[in-house]
Structure 1
Amino acid sequence: MTLDIMMPFYGRFDHLKLAVESVLAQSDPDWRLVVVDDVYPDLAPGQWVAALEDERVTYIRNEVNLRPSRNYMKCVGLMESPFAVLMGCDDIMLPGYVARVKELIGRFPDASIIQPGVAVIDGNGNPSSPLADRVKRLYRFGGHGPRSFGGQPLAKSLLRGNWTYFPSLCWRVDALRQHTFRTDLDVVQDLAMLLEITKDGGRLVLDDEVVFTYRRHSESVSAVTGPDGSKFAQERVLFAEAERDLTALGWHGAARAARLHVTSRLNALSELPAALLARNRSGLRSLLRHVFGPSAERSTA
């Protein structure tokens, strides 16, 4: 089985080069890489990818800037294999990623999502363990070795604290195509997609073998939208909708996790010092509302 690796691109050339080279270095050579350039101003990165002499690599440049969610959906439309990855253009696959994911798909044929083992690096590629990732480990399911989860336990766990790493996930393409990456939630669209697939009966396989490195740095969308509160405004919409939908399913424990969203509130609290230093009054109001207020009204988008 060929694994599709879709790489939406808008970012640093050096990071992109490392990401692409990590795919080229896979021990299992049966993969297809498509880099989808979202009109990054510098043409040099795209020219470098396009010049690679490997028939497995395709470079596409969008005609207009689609922004993350629409670019993800374009990538989904370009997928040809049963399973695919939406890899970050600043992350790094270890050489065994493709082989390990294929092994897990074979062992869990009903899986909709594969979460392999992940290590975290900083902007310079050094091992890192910031607070956000230590919290992820607290909420991740326990146990050892590959294990499968679904239904209310999975929804509840993800809503308590989204411990997955979106760019490392391998998705069943049919499951992705049943839904859409929401443009109104372009910072938390990964959690929205995970919840939709879980509500539809999809299962997630969690593995411990580290085959992917996730880059966490100050230029990421999540890092930029934290202090100004916009990320948390999206989270309030998502939690309110999740509470409604999960209550209708009878998943009351998961609905309660959505209503309380304790970890998200604490995350917003941790962003207050940065908002204060920046003298961002609107950001402060948004953060305080998220920490102490109820969920936002549901989106009408």
Structure 2
Amino acid sequence: MSTTVDLLVPFYGDAALLREAVASVLAQDDPNWRLTVVDDGGPDKSPDALADRFATIGDERVRYLRNPENLGLTGNFNRCLELVEHELAVLLGCDDRLLPNYVGTVRAAYAAHPDAGIVQPGVRVIGGDGEPVRTLVDEAKRRVYAPKVTGRRTLAGEELAVSLLRGDWLYFPSLAWRADALTAVRFRPELRVIQDLALLVELVVRGERLVVDDTLCFEYRRHAASESSATAFDGSRFTEAGEFFADTAVRLAEHGWPRAARVARRHVSSRLFALTMLPQALRQRAGVGALARHVFGA
């Protein structure tokens, strides 16, 4: 099994959390990886110091690149796609952590299912302090939307589209992608927080398969500072989501997947999420209209 995993980190954020992410890569049991950090001009006022820290790592599998100008979230994700060179690629969050068995786990899953475009390994959710946390969103993912898997399971076609559109239970930064599938698409510049689901649906429509492996090997950090949290409270997330689901329903109907089209049109889980945001929006008097339209609209 000679597959190498490209670990790409689109960075704009906390340098201390980035150091944790990098340390987790260096601690991998399986040496078949290459790490690329793509700095999009984050808040660190001493970017040269960050570059110097990477230079001291002394591992030829690690490289640090800084964009000459700020590309923005989606632009930097697409820049990372341009840098993929190996068979598997991961868009690792700059505040997430790999457990030591991550690379070995996704390589083994891919070796067993080389036709799969996406591998979802087992994930543990952590908070800003790095300790395990349980949230309503993640409990819903695990208990309501995610399929029950013991060992490995493969999903594809309309079944997979329906599952993801009912509630996106995947953890995007933990996914390992077959490189030729991932680099054949791009993140959509008009989307801010739902571009991960948009990309997944695009690949499913193109015929890519998902392998779920229940081996715990990834720590996903959930905290209030995230882009998705901020846009949830101001309501813009749901304006974007409503437009995405409407467009997707039309496309899936034309593709011959009527059940998936109905699920997209209803987008019940997204409406329920918006409903949970309404009380705080009312207190803050912000984003109420966008949230209400998403919850109660057609």
TM tier relative to shorter chain = over 0.9
Instruction: Map 1:110-259 to 2 at 5 A.
Output: 110-137=115-142, 138-259=144-265
Secondary structure of 1:129's aligned partner: coil
CA contact (8 A) 1:37 1:46 kept: no
Where does structure 1 differ by over 6 angstroms across 4 or more consecutive aligned residues?
none
Q: Which runs of 5+ in 1 are unaligned?
A: 295-301
> 2:288 maps to what in 1?
284
Cα offset for 1:227? 0.9
Distance 2:23 2:149 in 1: 33
Distance 1:276 1:50 in 2: 49
> 1:298 maps to what in 2?
none
Cα offset for 1:2? 1.4
Distance 1:23 1:50 in 2: 16
Distance 1:170 1:68 in 2: 20
Secondary structure of 1:53's aligned partner: coil
Letter in 2 for 1:258: A
Aligned-residue Cα RMSD (Å) equals 1.0
Cα offset for 1:13? 1.6
- Aligned-residue sequence identity (percent) comes to 51
CA contact (8 A) 1:16 1:45 kept: no
Secondary structure of 1:211's aligned partner: strand
Q: Is structure 2 residue 102 aligned with structure 1 residue 93?
A: no
Cα offset for 1:92? 0.3
> 2:33 maps to what in 1?
31
Cα offset for 1:46? 4.1
CA contact (8 A) 2:149 2:213 kept: no
> 1:299 maps to what in 2?
none
CA contact (8 A) 1:113 1:171 kept: yes
Letter in 2 for 1:68: L
Distance 1:186 1:53 in 2: 35
CA contact (8 A) 2:74 2:188 kept: yes
CA contact (8 A) 2:101 2:217 kept: yes
Q: Is structure 2 residue 92 aligned with structure 1 residue 84?
A: no
TM-score (ref. length: structure 1):
0.95
> 1:297 maps to what in 2?
none
Distance 1:115 1:27 in 2: 19
Secondary structure of 1:171's aligned partner: strand
TM-score (ref. length: structure 2):
0.96
> 1:64 maps to what in 2?
69
Distance 1:202 1:50 in 2: 38
Distance 1:284 1:147, change over 3 A: same
Letter in 1 for 2:43: P
Distance 1:45 1:253 in 2: 49
Q: Which runs of 5+ in 2 are unaligned?
A: none
Distance 1:96 1:131 in 2: 27
Aligned length: 292
Bigger shift: residues 85-94 or 176-185 = 176-185
Letter in 2 for 1:178: A
Distance 1:67 1:203 in 2: 30
What are the Cα deviations for residues 158-200 of structure 1, in whole angstroms up to 9, with x where unaligned?
0000000010000111112221101111211110010000001
What are the Cα deviations for residues 190-228 of structure 1, in whole angstroms up to 9, with x where unaligned?
100100000010000011111000000000010111011
1:107 aligns with one of 105, 112, 120:
112
CA contact (8 A) 2:281 2:288 kept: yes
Q: Is structure 2 residue 60 aligned with structure 1 residue 55?
A: yes
Letter in 2 for 1:186: R
Cα offset for 1:273? 2.3
CA contact (8 A) 2:124 2:219 kept: yes
Q: Is structure 2 residue 275 aligned with structure 1 residue 269?
A: yes
